[in-house]
A and B are shown apart, each in its own frame.
Chain A
Amino acid sequence: MAKIVVDPITRIEGHLRIEAEVTGGKIIDAWSSATMFRGIEKILKGRDPRDAWYWTQRFCGVCTTVHSIASVRAVENALKIKIPPNAELIRNIIIGTQNVQDHVIHFYHLHALDWVDITSGLKADPTATSKLAASISEWPNNSATYFKAVQDKVKAFVASGRLGPFANAYWGHPAYKLPPEANLMATAHYLEALEWQKDVIKIHAILGSKNPHPQTFLVGGMAIPIDPDSQNALNADKLIEIKRLLKKAQDFVEKVYIPDLLAVASFYKDWAAIGGGVGNYMCYGDFPDASGNMWFPSGAILNKDLSKVLKVDQGKIAEYVDHSWFENSAGTGKGLHPFDGETEVRYTGPTPPYKNLDTNAKYSFVKSPRYDEKAMEVGPLARVLVAYASGHKETKAVVDLVLSKLGVGAAALFSTLGRTAARGIDCLLNAQQTPKFLDELINNISKGDYRIHANEKWDPSSWPAEASGYGMHEAPRGGLGHWIKIKDQKILNYQAVVPSTWNASPRDAKGQRGPYEAALVGTPIADPNKPLEILRTIHSFDPCLACAVHVLDANGNEMVKVKVS
């Protein structure tokens, strides 16, 4: 029996290590470990709750808006602040843009090379590539001349003898199945997407000064003023530029991403039976309207049963640390709700440099959140499944279209391929919905509503002595929750349970695997020395480890100290 280690897992955010046992060409067990820790929640204690969005934004620079959103929602929930409709719409536009841009980067720049062999594209016939491209999309960049130019560029790059980030990869691996022409087409779109992403994200710069890390969120609203008669505020000029960029985003998703996804997926249908995982899915819902109703529905699905969608109750969330490098004063085998989380980092892993972790003991800086004691998968697949099973009209239409194009049933979604397809579906839904939020915003402005902030509770002296609240958000990688306790105008306790904490979690007290671990079991491995297949399944989750690793509540820190003394 061979134990293989992949560390670093590249083309993700953060520091992730996978150890897997392989027997008979298949993974029979796997462990997911996060190997970096900062402790930002601990640092937050005693600071101004109005600053928390800026601090927690630094959990992650990839999904660079999501913690800000969850944070301001948590503080607003605690202080019972209702934000103006325009602020909600601006947030929705920022969220939608983040989801679209992030999913496209994931598909082309983080995930594609698991399926696309760039070197094979050098053998492609540009004319045949042109025909292939024209057969699947009306995207204008599809001439033989265009693909020849891309091919020549890649050839010149290879001829330079310096492959840079493309060196030493798994090129030529038997698990690559695309014909040379499909590989060349995908390579061309890899380069196009690189240009596209930096343009469409200017929406964040217009609304929020810059990206990454837009600086515009406020407890109570947003900091971008609205005034059609000012050059220093959101005016017609800026709104029309956002409209143009949203159109550009939607065009690319409809005419490049989705056709590419379907084309690539059609060669890898065997991956619709691999990488299923825990089979439990959870989504908090998002895109609230002025009355607080969510455009994207919330819900939970257990055991892949699409006939039942359960209501999500945040009270059923608890985090375990039985296999995580933390201590928990509640004792072994006990989980704690995020409001009462009390964890202390305590590294007990091997002394570096090390070859293997002791996976029977504690082996990760990620905790194990569980919902009603169950491991849950979150992310685009969970979002799409919950919406599909809830009868969400727009989602159902796109899912049925994708399934019919691929000639597979809904059960195919419970897989590595399904996860990758669901991300495309989610992206398309976001790309088509976000312009509608802009239209609503323009409509409000035209009626003379320029409000962007609810001022009444801005001054901390207006707050109650104690308050607590939570904020939920559907980030690109899935359900995100922030919990805050405020005392005497300061942060008493802050906890974030983030998408990759759910998905990358190690085993819990009962020994239940986390979603990455469960999804890897059964994955075929053609060459243990080149575990391309592990990357496929892990990347299908779009890991974001800087987010996933977090503590903690410094309250508990003090309680632990008291116990010790």
Chain B
Amino acid sequence: MSSNKSSNVSEKTEQISGKQEFSIGEILKKRGVSRRDFLKFCSAMTAAMSLPASFAPTVAQALDEVKRPTLVWLNFQDCTGDSEALLRAANPTVGELILDILSVDYHETIMAAAGHQADEALESTITKYKGKYICVVEGSISMKDGGVYGCTSGKTHLEIARRVCGSAFATIAIGTCAAYGGIAAAIPNPTGAVGVRDAVPGATIINLPGCPCNADNLTATVVHYLVFGKIPALDSHGRPLFAYGKRIHDNCERRPHFDAGQYVEIWGDEGHRKGFCLYKMGCKGPATFHNCPTQRYNEKTSWPVAAGHPCAGCSEPQFWDAMGPMYKRLPNVPGFGIEHTADKIGLGMAVGVGAAFAVHGAISALRKDKDPAEKTKED
């Protein structure tokens, strides 16, 4: 790569880091991480970002030069599931993220300081690194009754979000609650819960939905940003295409069974034991854009469909209302190809699901066998 490119990267990354600090590469060396392990990590990140392997040296070079960017993590109307997901991060691990790669200056679940000392840590960070820090928001934000349903340190989450996200370089809305309001925003939405995008209009926001978000998608987003100095390409729901650009159904390891008309009919039946398609048990994979089948969870150990349970559609906006009930099968799934993106069909699909279970579309042209819709009595 050209030297021009590398100086460009370091210039961009300088924007988000403090001055006179060790670079990530230097810190890793001090921590005894071998060059070989570092390059392995860079290759993994390259893959997670859906980049060609030839980009690995670019990733390595950028990380060599970048200083630890400042990150503040805000917990609002949440269950802490996304923070727990962060604890399961493997590549890099949470220890490496906290000690080597980022400077996590505020995160209520892990930070040592409490009370006004915690407040001071947040204040000094957002003042000192104004416009340069990354903000991560976990949980929805209550808008009803002046936001009294979510307060920290006597201040509403709405006020905190507007101040902290408003001065951030970018905000990552982690999990479906922060992205779209999530469970608290499900009908009848008792607290007027919304996602960050609706609470802080105008802020630069990357949505990483999922319930919880896959930690690999968070680290890949951060690394994407460090490497390219800009946020990744997003779909109309604000989700990075590298992680949410394809439907679960199109990457699913059980797709051949769908196409062959082989379905699980009863929990524990032969089809269930042999890994047949879970469509009839309510799988929302055909309407869900997420990289679960390829990225999987807990160091690629498994993901819901692989473990025998249908996809719940958790990365789609308003999935709690639009996708339910969980075990009700989707209306006729047309056989659109993998070239379609969420922007073209995802929204229409979700709305259709929410509106009724009587959508009659074209029957799969790809499926050569029987139509499961006609075989299911729950219609």
Contact = CB atoms under 8 A, between A and B. Distances in A.
Specify whether A and B are partners. yes
Given A11-B109, A38-B184, A43-B190, A51 B150 contact: no
B10 to A, nearest CB: 18
B148 A352 contact: yes
A43 B183 contact: yes
| Chief secondary structure at chain A's binding surface | loop
Contacts of B153: 7-8
B267 A149 contact: no
Interface string A227-238: 100111100000
B266 A61 contact: no
A211 B121 CA distance: 30
A15 interface: yes
B150 A15 contact: yes
A352 B153 CA distance: 9
A225 B110 contact: no
Contacts of B327: 48, 50-51
Residue among A61, A233, A347 with max Cβ neighbours from chain B (10 Å):
A61
A205 B298 CA distance: 7
B11 interface: no
B238 interface: no
Given A10-B111, A64-B84, A458-B267, A39 B302 contact: no
Contact of A205 (B111, B267, B301): B301
Contacts of B326: 48, 50-51, 54
A441 to B, nearest CB: 15
Contacts of B105: 162, 164-165, 167
B93 A164 contact: no
Contacts of A224: 307-309
B267 A221 contact: yes
B114 A10 contact: yes
A211 to B, nearest CB: 6
Contacts of A206: 301-302, 307
A450 to B, nearest CB: 7
Given A11-B111, A194-B87, A201 B104 contact: no
B306 interface: yes
Given A36-B149, A60-B80, A51 B325 contact: yes
Interface residues of A, number: 103
Nearest to B155: A353
Interface stretch (A74-82, A153-161, A412-420, A428-436): A153-161
B369 interface: no
A209 B304 contact: yes
B112 A212 contact: no
A109 B87 CA distance: 11
B146 A351 contact: yes
A213 B114 contact: no
A62 B82 CA distance: 9
B155 A58 contact: no
A455 B105 CA distance: 50
Given A43-B190, A167-B113, A232 B107 contact: no
Contact of A6 (B114, B157, B325): B114
B34 interface: no
A195 B150 CA distance: 33
A450 B299 CA distance: 28
Interface string B80-103: 111111011110011100110011
A232 B211 CA distance: 24
Interface string A444-461: 000000111101001000
Contacts of B301: 202, 205-206, 210
A271 interface: no
Contacts of B109: 10-13, 110
B147 A43 contact: no
Given A6-B115, A7-B154, A215-B312, A209 B75 contact: no
Contacts of B324: 47-48, 51
Interface in A156-186: 156-157, 160-162, 164-171
Interface string A216-228: 1010110111110
A198 B299 CA distance: 9
B159 interface: yes
Given A5-B115, A47-B324, A164 B80 contact: no
A354 B111 contact: no
Contacts of B81: 58, 60-62, 64, 212-213
A60 B77 CA distance: 11
A62 B309 contact: no
A546 B121 CA distance: 24
Contacts of A223: 267, 307-309
5 contacts: A15-B75, A38-B190, A38-B193, A58-B81, A191-B95
Given A48-B324, A62-B79, 20 more contacts: A5-B115, A11-B109, A11-B110, A14-B75, A38-B193, A43-B187, A55-B320, A62-B80, A64-B81, A165-B105, A198-B87, A198-B298, A202-B299, A210-B297, A212-B85, A225-B268, A232-B274, A345-B190, A453-B266, A546-B78
Interface of A: 5-15, 35-40, 42-43, 47-48, 50-51, 54-55, 58-62, 64, 105, 109-110, 113, 118, 149, 152-153, 156-157, 160-162, 164-171, 191, 194-195, 197-198, 201-202, 204-213, 215-216, 218, 220-221, 223-227, 230-233, 345, 347, 349, 351-355, 365, 450-453, 455, 458, 530-531, 535, 546, 551
